[in-house]
Structure 1
Amino acid sequence: MDALSHVLSLLDVESALPSRFEVGGPWALRFPGGYRHAKFGVVLGGSCWISPLDAEPALLRQGDCWMVTGGRPYVMSSDLETRAVDAVPVFMAAESIERVRYGDAAVDTVLFGGALTFDESSARLLLEILPALLHVPAASDQADVLHMALRMLAQETAAPALGSGFMTQRVIHMVFVQALRIYASTTAADGRPAGGWLSALLDPQIGGALRLIHEEAARKWTVDELAASVGMSRSSFAEKFKTVVGSPPLDYLMRWRMHAAGRELRETDRTVHAIAGRWGYGSESAFSNAFKRVMGSTPRDYRSRRPPQPAEPYATASPYHS
């Protein structure tokens, strides 16, 4: 398994339902920040502007794809002059979240998209490294896979069949992975760092060390061993790892172990003691202390708590709401 697949396999993800948004005339909707979503979509017809906070507005034309991440507020609008109104009441008032109509004029813009909601630890791991806005023009070769996936989503939404719910979730995951690939490839082509561990995965030396950590996380790695495995001196490796990844190698190793252990706590009936031993800890108390530092709760509390539920019924149903 490649390093990105290792990371994605540990994310606690809840797919949202896809939604079709139809609008006409001058309009502008403001979406508040603080969400733990990656929201994405495609312009099926017409055009509109998307304006994330702290990022340049982008004009989205027919066939363009986009993704907004990191919980940043943003505005979607027909132009840059119309005064924005709160988007939440618009979606709360809709008869069906799967198809939302807004504005009194004839429909001239149609958007279709979906969203991925992450738990808090996964959101910190993933969304903060991504740009406020990822814009993929329709003419780009990289948009082909996104277009195919979003067409599949549109078909499943318009005419649900056996297994549609399962199909929808898997396709949304595919869209997200493709967006990560596009971001990584475009930043590499431009000579810009992608940020966080995504940059690290693209680096031959640090990416190699991450693959070893992911594949043998229970091993009692030392910085010397990791450095030697990628042909670097200890000091050069430690400095480069911290610069690219954002934390020292052994700190990253501990965080990775705890995320992997968290997956076991959620998905298996193994005892905390057994899980501690599987991830290289000689005592349950040492494991519990490390787990709480990284994940914010004890292993038993983490296992027993229910997944966070949205405060409102619309909270994970559309790529456009907050």
Structure 2
Amino acid sequence: MTFDYDKRLATKASESVISSLLNKMSMESVFCTQSTLRSPWGISMPAIDHCMMFHLLASGTAHIQALNTQSEPLNIDMQAGDFILLPKGIGHVLSDGESNNHVPLNKLPIKFINEHFEQLEFGGNGRQAIMLCGAITFKHPLTLKLLETLPNAIYIQKDDSANQSIQSLVHLLSNEAINTDIGTSGMITRLADLLVITALRQYLEHQQGTHPNTLNWVGALADARITKAVQLVHKFPEKHWSLEELATQVGMSRTNFAVEFKRLVGNSPMDYLTAWRMSLAYTNFQTTKDSILTIATQYGYQSESAFSRAFKKVIGFSPGEVRKRT
């Protein structure tokens, strides 16, 4: 049997629904702070728009409490090895659990190392805690909509199954952040991508079938047929899909498919298709110089005007405005 190298090299890596969605999150920037903290200590972190924060407690203990989030309180005693992700960048305080003096972030003696990495030594002469804290910013409109569907905090304890991967990624991220070699910036971005995706996947996979409507598109994972429909849309966004064809592809009647898709995903199948196409097109406008018509035809539109109307409805900006903001 002859091995077909061309065929093997042309075979694309498969993605789950979660992976294909999270991999389109369009991270803008990332930086980390390695902190050595000694009791008594307390830090007040402001809310930051369009920002996802994280904290990994490497050693010692720490307490984290949210500020001004009555609808979703956060009050956690962290142990060594615990990881917390704050998808919405909410304001919060970190402390040794005893100090009531919380110093604002902008008043801390932070030492600048490079554009991606800072160091902090802070507190008194008591017991020590070491943390790696990070901030990741986003601008993609659909990414921001995704973040709005997530809780204020995703807490992953040391014994959780995903934590070993998270600790390894944070260790690599810390090493790269300190490094100033060629290619470091790209590595930091990729590692931060993996860190966020790992934490979110851990959370989202635990939510399958429990709160489908609160997580919008994640509800699709509760039904294999709807999952298949979403995968088809992701794999072939340029195809002129109709409601009937998608329903046939997954073995459902047109009516049942439409009702179940809307119930689980939160959008109609055609609205979801449009939103996915516009998300991909948004990235094209940021990363290529292709014309509007070229990008429009790439995602199944023959008319530049029709594409532009759909794009502005979903994204909130015209293609030209996105180009100017890039």
Tell me whether the two structures share a fold, i.e. TM-score over 0.5: yes
Count matched residues: 303
Report the AA paired with residue 42 of structure 2: A
1:168-207 residue CA offsets vs partner (Å, 9 max, x unmatched): 221111111111221123224x844471222324531221
Pick closer, same or farther for the CA change 1:160–1:45 going to 2, 3 Å.
farther
1:23 and 2:37 correspond: yes
Q: What's the secondary structure of 1:18's corresponding residue?
A: strand
User: Is 2:88 aligned against 1:74?
Assistant: no
Cα contact 1:223–1:238 (8 A) shared by 2: yes
Deviates more, 1:194-203 or 1:177-186: 194-203
| Cα distance in 1 for residues equivalent to 2:300 and 2:294 | 10
Match among 229, 243, 249 for residue 209 of structure 1: 229
Aligned equivalents of 1:158, 1:106: Cα separation in 2 = 27
CA distance in 2 between partners of 1:89 and 1:73 (Å): 16
Distance 1:279 1:61, change over 3 A: same
TM-score scaled to structure 1, two decimals?
0.85
Measured in 1, the distance between the counterparts of 2:215 and 2:271 equals 18
Change in 2 beyond 3 A, CA 1:233/1:73: farther
Counterpart contact for 2:222–2:264, Cα < 8 Å: no
Residues 1:267 and 2:268 are matched in the alignment: no
Q: Is the 8 A contact 1:201 1:210 kept in 2?
A: no
Q: What is residue 59 of structure 1 aligned with on the other side?
A: 77
1:35 touches 1:71 (CA, 8 Å); kept in 2?
yes
Residue 132 in structure 1 maps to residue 152 in structure 2? yes
Q: Counterpart in 1 of 2:128?
A: 108
Instruction: Quote the residue 1:292 is aligned against.
Output: 312
Separation in structure 1 between the aligned mates of residue 105 and residue 62 of structure 2, nearest angstrom: 15
* Separation in 2, partners of 1:62, 1:232: 49
Partner of 1:315: none
Matches for 1:198-277 after TM superposition, within 5 Å: 198-201=218-221, 203-277=223-297
1:42-94 per-residue CA deviation (whole Å, 9 max, x = no partner) reads 1111111122332331111111111111233222222277254433333xx52
Given that 2:39 and 2:125 are in contact with CA atoms closer than 8 Å, whether structure 1 keeps it comes out as: yes
Structure 2: 5+ residue stretches without partners: 1-13
Query: Residues 138, 250 of structure 1: CA spacing in aligned structure 2 closer, same or farther, 3 A cutoff?
Result: same
Higher mean C-alpha deviation, range 248-257 or range 148-157: 148-157
How many percent identity over aligned positions?
29
Give the stretch that moved more between structures: 24-33 or 270-279: 24-33
Amino acid at match of 2:317: S
Q: Partner residue of 1:313?
A: none
Out of 46, 67, 76, the position equivalent to 1:32 is: 46
1:195 is paired with a residue of what secondary structure? Answer: helix
Hey, what does 1:178 align to over in structure 2?
A: 198
Structure 1: gaps (5+ residues): 307-322
Indicate the residue corresponding to 2:10 in structure 1: none
What pairs with 1:4-19 in structure 2 (closer than 5 Å)?
4-19=18-33
Q: Is the 8 A contact 1:55 1:133 kept in 2?
A: no
Letter in structure 1 aligned against 2:193: H
Runs of 4+ in 1 over 6 A off after TM superposition: none
Tell me how far apart the structure 2 counterparts of residues 25 and 236 of structure 1 sit (CA, whole Å).
Answer: 60
SS in 1 for 2:31: coil
8 Å contact kept, 1:220–1:280: yes
Find out whether 1:43 has 2:57 as its counterpart. Answer: yes
Q: Are the counterparts in 1 of residues 233 and 273 from structure 2 also a CA contact under 8 Å?
A: yes
Residues in 2 aligned to 1:112 and 1:160: alpha-carbon distance in whole angstroms: 18
Tell which deviates more after alignment, 70-79 or 131-140. 70-79
* 2:278–2:311 Cα contact (<8 Å) kept: yes
What letter matches 2:40 in structure 1?
P
